[in-house]
Amino acid sequence: MSNNNSEPRTETLAETENFLVWKAEEPDGETTYHIELNNVTVHFFEEEWTEFIELARSLR
């Protein structure tokens, strides 16, 4: 029997035709966030994600 505890638990946060934002609950307890922009993916740790969201909100 395989142990799936080593696989992250993922959740899609937002999606459009060209973009995808998702998060992963890693087995070590870390949460990572990912933005897929066509063929580029940007990865963030929790602290970086919080700062990025603050930056994005200031663009309005």
Q: In a structure prediction context, what are the per-residue pLDDT tens digits for the chain, which is 60 residues long?
A: 444 678 999 999 999 999 999 999 999 999 999 999 989 999 999 999 999 999 999 998
Nearest residue to 12 (alpha-carbon basis) of 43, 41, 27, 34:
34
pTM of the model: 0.83
User: How many helices, marked H, and strands, marked E, lie in the chain?
Assistant: 1, 4
- Tens digits of residue pLDDT in 34-43: 999 989 999 9
Question: Where exactly are the structural domains of the chain?
Answer: 6-57
Residue 13 CA to residue 46 CA, distance in Å, equals 14
Q: What is the pLDDT of residue 49?
A: 98
Q: What is the pLDDT of residue 4?
A: 62
